Amino acid sequence: MYSIKKMVQPDNFDEAWELLQKSPRNVILGGGLFLKLGEKSINKAVDLTHLGLDFIEKVDDSIRIGSMVSFGRLEEHKLLNDETGGIIRKSLETIVSKQIRNMATLGGSIITRFGFSDFLPGLLLLNPTLYFYKYGKITLEEYFALEKPLTKDILMEISIPLKKGIGVYCTQKKTYGDFPMLNMALFYTEGQYKIAVGARPGRAMIAEKTSKYLSAHELGPSILQESQKILLDEIPLSTNGKASKRYRELLAKGLLEKCLKEIKNENRYSC
């Protein structure tokens, strides 16, 4: 649990940013869910409600999403899901309950970049650009590669380029309400596959070699087996309290096969 000494609702980004810099114990509140993962004494909780960051809008060939948009809104937004192959909705609907999804925010999930996130593997495949108040523009993949998360900056919004395709999300959990032992997202468009693996237990990463191999071959039993080998060679897996490295290797092979079957089924029904 966590305790808050004072709640502050700044009226502009300058004020919000300055508040964050004044103390290491001043934090952005977001949905407040990830703060509950450990004991934390917060001096000032900075609430961004007054900064107009709760929006989803289409601009030319992309969709802009404010950092304070809840998972619940993302899950239900028809245009967003129609234009991204449904991968966002499919990733989010596996998260515990509707009540939790209505509390969790886009910004909170991205900033923390937790490896166990259900949401981030699918989002990573959509190649979003993040816009921070001070840092400026950076892709999600580049943000994952930073040595430290930008917890003392303000994520204002993200922009997702629209590209028609089919998205699927597969995960393995001990119970419905638990964090994943391993998860995988796959996006298929114009004969090209793109795969991301999360809960390795590290942050989600794109399986570049596996994606290129599958895109260059017609899927069949031998191609599936070879793609599974390539996946295990390029994606680092390890052991933690959720699962062993060996078990994750088995899961990776199984989830890849499951994702490809779902893509095949959805592609057939959409024709």
Residue after which a domain boundary falls, among 129, 161, 193:
161
Please tell me whether residues 74 and 134 are part of one structural domain: yes
Considering the domain architecture, whether residues 64 and 157 belong to the same structural domain is answered as yes
The verdict on residue 87 lying in a domain is: yes
- Domain-located, residue 214: yes
Q: Are residues 226 and 134 in the same domain?
A: no
Which of 127, 161, 195 terminates a domain? The answer is 161
C-alpha distances (whole Å) from 24 to each of 13, 27, 28, 42, 58 are 18, 8, 11, 9, 36
Predicted pLDDT of residue 33: 67
| pTM (two decimals) | 0.93
Number of Cβ within a 10 Å radius of residue 222: 9
Q: Would 170 be classed as within a structural domain?
A: yes
The reply to whether 79 falls in a domain is yes
Whether 155 and 86 map to the same domain: the answer is yes
Q: What is the DSSP string of 133-195?
A: TTTEEEEHHHHHHSSS--TTS-EEEEEEE----EEEEEEE-SSTTSPPSEEEEEEEETTEEEE
Structural domain boundaries, residue 244:
166-270
Cα(91)–Cα(104) distance, rounded to whole angstroms? Answer: 14
Write the CATH number for 150. Answer: 3.30.465.10
- Closest by CA to 196, choosing from 209, 184, 180, 181, is 184
The answer for residues whose C-beta is within 8 angstroms of residue 218's C-beta and 6 or more apart is none
* 271 residues of the chain, pLDDT tens digit each: 678 899 999 999 999 999 999 999 999 988 776 665 667 788 999 999 999 999 999 999 999 999 999 999 999 999 999 999 999 999 999 887 888 888 899 999 999 999 999 999 999 999 999 999 999 999 999 999 999 999 999 999 999 999 889 999 999 999 888 999 999 999 999 999 999 999 999 999 999 999 999 999 999 999 999 999 999 999 999 999 999 999 999 999 999 999 999 998 865 544 3
Residue 255 has which token pair? 């989830």
111 plus 177 within the same structural domain: no
Residue 131: name the closest of 105, 145, 103, 150 by CA: 150
Extract the tokens encoding 26: 């001043």
| Shared domain check, 72 and 35 | no
Q: Mark whether 173 and 259 lie in a shared domain.
A: yes
Among 82, 74, 115, which residue's Cα sits nearest to residue 237? 115
CATH number of the domain residue 233 falls in = 3.30.390.50
Domain assignment present for residue 91? The answer is: yes
Do 76 and 100 reside in the same domain of the chain?
Answer: yes
Q: Please tell me the total count of domains within the chain.
A: 3
Across the chain, the runs of DSSP E, i.e. the strands, are: 2-8, 26-28, 40-46, 56-59, 62-66, 129-132, 136-139, 155-161, 166-172, 182-189, 192-198, 205-206
> Can you give the pLDDT at residue 36?
58
Same structural domain for residues 156 and 224?
no
The C-alpha atoms of residue 151 and residue 172 are separated, in whole angstroms, by 29
Residue 224 to residues 168, 230, 247, 257: CA-CA distances in angstroms?
A: 17, 10, 19, 7
Contacts of residue 219, Cβ cutoff 8 Å, sequence gap at least 6: 260, 264
80, 74 in Cβ contact below 8 A?
A: yes
212 and 234, same domain (yes or no): yes
- Pairing state between β 26-28 and 40-46: parallel
Q: Is 125 within a domain?
A: yes
Where among 161, 196, 229 does a domain terminate? 161
CA–CA separation, 78 vs 254, rounded Å? 30
Q: Are residues 73 and 122 in the same domain?
A: yes
Position 51 in a domain: no
Pair 63, 148 in one domain: yes
Question: Does 255 map to a domain?
Answer: yes
Cα gap 258→216, rounded to integer Å: 19
